[in-house]
């Protein structure tokens, strides 16, 4: 099936919408947008393959590390593995939504068949939505470990984790499959996820309902959970840190405990802020496309194209950096990485599993609680 390149490349898209832009902005603003679009096009040539390689490498290492004996007893590893898999699927499918990739291939692989078009966006949307909820589950498990340490082993079990993962995939897969009615191939042989009769009030209302539901599942509801639980976790950790200080007195352990608590608090807030900053733009993109009656991935005005490219870059960055966040914020994860590459002896005393308020994972909560009052936390 041939692809009409006149409607797919960034430079052609710029030319297609130049008249519309001139009608809505002055010449200087139009030239600025054209320059921004050109810069973003070259940036995509570098960032797309770079983030793809880094993201897939990091997610693969995460899955391998989570399969080692060090983490076999942790329920959080199941969420981390599922998160890595969903992020990897997103990273692999995202390039096919890029115009310069379609130009390079000379055809839209998503549009080889109507079923293929629908299946692509079902997989793409399922990966995006499920990733957000696995992050929520990790935060939820951390919340339980901090606020209800003695009940954590009863609530946060592997059976519960598997059930939640399966439930998320089944529910989201069902929702996106029903929503796939709007994923169709246009006259230009391009597969779009938002094809419907924009002049029909019923069709507009129908698609708008699915879009609002999809965005709620993808970002709006997860953000509410993260914004609610993260401050509560930080407050609890801060109180525990002050309590440990009063119990330990002036000692090296006091300084270490304070540093761990501060690092964990900063990490928790950082994860929440990063998620909101990187995901909010693409949420706004789809809402704007709906209210403006545009195809989110179609040929639109320059201003919208610039917004789309920036949003997609931020979104892809969100799914590529998790591994590096684990390395930066978790000494336990770094130890596992060193063992994987043979830089550390897994049986040495220095690698014994230990808990601190800066830890990413919940380990032996009841035992550590009885020994020193420390409560393990689970980071992203």
Supply the pLDDT for residue 149: 85
Q: Mean per-residue pLDDT for 290-308? A: 74
The dihedral of CA 299, 303, 309, 314: what is its sign?
Answer: negative
Supply the pLDDT for residue 136: 92
Residue 87 confidence class, pLDDT cut points 50, 70, 90:
very high
Q: What's the whole-number average pLDDT of the chain?
A: 77
Residue 17 confidence class, pLDDT cut points 50, 70, 90:
very low
Distances (CA, A) of 215 to 251, 308, 352, 357: 50, 16, 43, 33
Q: Answer for the pair 189, 118: CB distance below 8 angstroms, yes or no.
A: no
Q: pLDDT tens across 34-71, in order?
A: 887 788 888 888 888 999 999 999 999 989 988 888 77
Cα separation, 306 vs 300, in Å, equals 10
Strand segments, DSSP code E, in 175-317 are 184-185, 191-192
Supply the pLDDT for residue 289: 81
Supply the pLDDT for residue 328: 76
Cα separation, 294 vs 194, in Å, equals 9
Q: pLDDT tens across 252-293, in order?
A: 444 554 455 455 556 667 777 788 888 888 888 888 888 877
Residue 294 confidence class, pLDDT cut points 50, 70, 90:
confident
Cα separation, 342 vs 336, in Å, equals 10
How far apart, in Å, do the first and last CA atoms of the chain sit?
Answer: 43
Supply the pLDDT for residue 155: 87
More confident residue, 74 or 363: 74
Residue 192 phi, psi dihedral angles, 5° rounding: -120, 145
Strand segments, DSSP code E, in the chain are 184-185, 191-192
- DSSP-H helix ranges across 216-251: 221-248
pLDDT exceeds 50 at position 295:
yes
Cα separation, 148 vs 133, in Å, equals 21
pLDDT exceeds 50 at position 105:
yes
Neighbouring-strand partners of residue 192: 184
Supply the pLDDT for residue 346: 52
Token pair in block for residue 141: 């498990």
As a whole-number percent, the residues of the chain with pLDDT over 70 amount to 75
The dihedral of CA 10, 16, 17, 19: what is its sign?
Answer: positive
pTM: 0.76
Q: Which of 42, 136, 127, 64 lies closest to 91, judged by CA?
A: 127
HEC per residue, 316-332 = HHHHHCHHHHHHHHCHH
Token pair in block for residue 134: 């696995």
Cα separation, 103 vs 310, in Å, equals 19
């Amino acid at each position: 099936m041939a692809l009409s390149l006149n409607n797919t490349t960034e430079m052609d898209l710029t030319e297609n919408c130049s008249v519309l832009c001139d009608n809505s902005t002055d010449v200087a603003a139009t030239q600025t947008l054209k320059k921004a679009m050109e810069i973003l096009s070259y940036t995509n040539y570098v960032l797309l393959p770079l983030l793809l390689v880094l993201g897939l490498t990091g997610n693969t290492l995460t899955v391998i590390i989570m399969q080692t004996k060090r983490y076999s007893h942790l329920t959080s590893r199941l969420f981390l593995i599922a998160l890595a898999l969903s992020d990897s699927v997103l990273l692999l499918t995202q390039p096919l939504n890029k115009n310069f990739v379609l130009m390079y291939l000379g055809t839209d692989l998503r549009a080889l068949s109507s079923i293929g078009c629908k299946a692509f966006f079902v997989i793409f949307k399922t990966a995006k939505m499920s990733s957000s909820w696995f992050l929520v589950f990790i935060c939820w498990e951390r919340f339980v470990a901090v606020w209800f340490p003695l009940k954590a082993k009863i609530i946060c079990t592997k059976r519960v984790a598997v059930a939640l993962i399966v439930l998320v995939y089944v529910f989201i897969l069902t929702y996106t499959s029903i929503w796939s009615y709007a994923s169709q191939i246009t006259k230009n042989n391009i597969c779009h996820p938002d094809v419907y009769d924009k002049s029909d009030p019923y069709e507009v209302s129908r698609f708008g309902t699915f879009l609002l539901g999809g965005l709620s599942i993808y970002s709006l509801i997860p953000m509410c959970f993260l914004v609610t639980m993260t401050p509560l976790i930080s407050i609890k950790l801060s109180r525990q840190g002050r309590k440990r200080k009063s119990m330990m007195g002036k000692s090296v352990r006091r300084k270490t405990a304070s540093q761990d608590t501060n690092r964990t608090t900063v990490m928790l807030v950082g994860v929440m802020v990063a998620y909101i900053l990187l995901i909010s733009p693409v949420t706004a993109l789809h809402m704007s496309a709906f209210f403006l009656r545009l195809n989110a991935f179609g040929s639109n005005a320059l201003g919208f194209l610039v917004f789309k490219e920036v949003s997609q870059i931020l979104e892809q960055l969100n799914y590529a950096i998790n591994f590096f966040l684990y390395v930066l914020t978790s000494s336990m994860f770094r130890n596992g990485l060193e063992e994987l590459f043979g830089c550390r002896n897994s049986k040495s005393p220095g690698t014994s599993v230990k808990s601190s308020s800066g830890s990413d994972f919940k380990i032996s909560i009841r035992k550590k609680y009885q020994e020193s009052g420390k409560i393990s936390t689970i980071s992203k």
